[in-house]
Structure 1
């Protein structure tokens, strides 16, 4: 029987567990997909679609598309059973998700791939995506400490700084999405206005020399984390003040840890390591495919 693509169902769960069991067998980490698959099926609707590749009644591939904004789609959870890799099933899923996203109004689609995931990197290029940016996570430890610079919470000031920041250019204007975990979308003035009210927008310096914005608190591996959509700054002193401000903000929430997205440049990585001292060892890559309506 030839492979077919269809909407995911609850009775696919056992197949999904099986096909994700050895995704990262060479790494000390478990796949998150079995934990979220049932929720993905339940949440399918106008703004998200979960598809599987079906062969002889068994799901041997999986992927999901989510509309983050009216024009930005995010593709995630691409998995192919090891017995079926190299047969073009990833591209088949991607083509169907692109068609769905284009019909939903998306003009651009993006995805994230771990830098060590060679198969994922190759699959992204084979499907027509291009690498647009890379980023890294920094994890300041929550603590009650006063930054060495003035801390503000003005979205207008933050927006002006963001527009002029070299970090914005490196990140192609993207930051951690406020609605979907592990997804990046365009950071807008409206988003900063909302976060300043609902979460926190932090600037450091009388004439701002750094910016961060908190998007949510979440649970990860039994710990509560405060997540910050982006952190950018002008120099090492501003980095120290910004990460201190983030640590102090997180301390007021009583969380166990933090996660801050920063641009992947030698300056940002070196200064973050010096100022914060707790930084991931590898970057993550963001891939993009434009003009979805023309491709569907």
Structure 2
């Protein structure tokens, strides 16, 4: 690390940004286990941190702020390359004992340097809309406002029957791509969808993703008097449901875009049927956060998340960030 990654606290502690090590796990767990207790939610960091460290490589780097050469950990942040030019920052946490010292910015800039060295021209992150502290830390670190989205949450239903024609072959993939290029949803989301490889990350949709989804029977394109909308299953993941070790399968659909309410209804029914067939317990479909998309979804009697999520972005071609 450069000299800019080392500083001393008011109390004299030596703080250094470095790559995370397996031995940091207990210290990270100690200050992250109650991160969102006021929101009634648990933090995933204690569970995933050991895996993060183990899986670090050319396209992923986990950073921590080291206190006095391993005596404690003051913060953590991971950077991931999602494509040749897109980086993602996640898991920003600062130990309450060391807050107010600009450590979030130190970690963010370390990820920016790491990502730019690997060819990234942009870095993004996701922050819950209610997480005011996280939003402030992101802005201070160099991120700027990006886009916002919400989750549609249709219930799995093996008997759901779309009222319009839904196709999913290679031709439907190309039709979906053409639709996406002219869609208001693409404009409102700045072309971003859920990433297929990194869970809970967003990247720019590529034509090849739709073709891959078609080949795996994960694409649902409404082609009825022309192409009217599409969605696709991006990935499934297991998540805890309670403190007793229960889990469920969550199906995440990368984005949904449509022309009208009837098309939205057909897409959500196709998703409901697909989720049931795949043994998925609950569903999330990314939609833009605006009156049109949320009210269209509501008009189909499909559930919607209570609050939006925010995506922020940093231009890594801006030397002022370094």
TM over 0.5: yes
How many angstroms apart in 2 are the aligned matches of 1:20 and 1:208?
46
Q: Which residue matches 1:204?
A: 222
Q: State yes or no: 1:16 paired with 2:28.
A: yes
Match of 2:189 among 171, 175, 184: 171
Q: How many matched pairs?
A: 296
Aligned to 2:255, what secondary structure does the other structure show?
strand
Taking structure 1 as reference, are residues 21 and 217 closer, same or farther at Cα in structure 2, changes over 3 Å only?
Answer: closer
Match of 1:49 among 61, 77, 97: 61
Q: How far apart are residue 109 of structure 1 and its match?
A: 0.3
Question: Normalising to structure 1: TM-score of the pair?
Answer: 0.97
The one-character-per-residue Cα deviations of 1:58-102 (angstroms, maximum 9, x if unpaired) are 111000000000000000000001121111000000111100001
Q: Which residue matches 1:94?
A: 108
Q: State yes or no: 1:255 paired with 2:280.
A: yes
How many angstroms apart in 1 are the aligned matches of 2:120 and 2:211?
24
Aligned to 1:273, what secondary structure does the other structure show?
helix
How many angstroms apart in 2 are the aligned matches of 1:13 and 1:138?
35
How many angstroms apart in 1 are the aligned matches of 2:143 and 2:190?
15
Match of 2:147 among 122, 133, 148: 133
Q: State yes or no: 1:146 paired with 2:161.
A: yes
Taking structure 1 as reference, are residues 7 and 291 closer, same or farther at Cα in structure 2, changes over 3 Å only?
Answer: closer
Match of 1:239 among 261, 264, 278: 264
How many angstroms apart in 2 are the aligned matches of 1:170 and 1:283?
14
CA contact (8 A) 1:106 1:293 kept: no
Q: How far apart are residue 55 of structure 1 and its match?
A: 1.2
- Structure 1 runs (4+) deviating above 6 angstroms are none
- CA-atom RMSD in angstroms: 1.2
How many angstroms apart in 2 are the aligned matches of 1:262 and 1:105?
29
Q: State yes or no: 1:268 paired with 2:293.
A: yes
Q: Which residue matches 2:84?
A: 70
Larger Rg, first or second structure (1 or 2) = 2
Q: How far apart are residue 293 of structure 1 and its match?
A: 6.9
Aligned to 1:26, what secondary structure does the other structure show?
helix
Aligned to 2:197, what secondary structure does the other structure show?
coil
The one-character-per-residue Cα deviations of 1:21-56 (angstroms, maximum 9, x if unpaired) are 332131111000111111100110100000000112
How many angstroms apart in 2 are the aligned matches of 1:225 and 1:64?
23
Once the two structures are overlaid, the 10-residue window that deviates more, 198-207 or 12-21, is 198-207
1:103-142 superposed matches below 5 A? 103-142=117-156
CA contact (8 A) 2:33 2:45 kept: no
CA contact (8 A) 1:99 1:292 kept: no
How many angstroms apart in 1 are the aligned matches of 2:317 and 2:55?
23
Q: How far apart are residue 19 of structure 1 and its match?
A: 1.1
Aligned to 2:312, what secondary structure does the other structure show?
strand
Aligned to 1:192, what secondary structure does the other structure show?
helix
How many angstroms apart in 2 are the aligned matches of 1:151 and 1:159?
15
CA contact (8 A) 1:102 1:293 kept: no
The one-character-per-residue Cα deviations of 1:85-136 (angstroms, maximum 9, x if unpaired) are 1110000001111000011111100000000000011111111111110001
Provide structure 2 residue ranges, at least 5 long, that are not aligned to the other structure.
1-12, 241-246
Aligned to 1:3, what secondary structure does the other structure show?
strand
Aligned to 1:163, what secondary structure does the other structure show?
helix
How many angstroms apart in 1 are the aligned matches of 2:316 and 2:52?
26
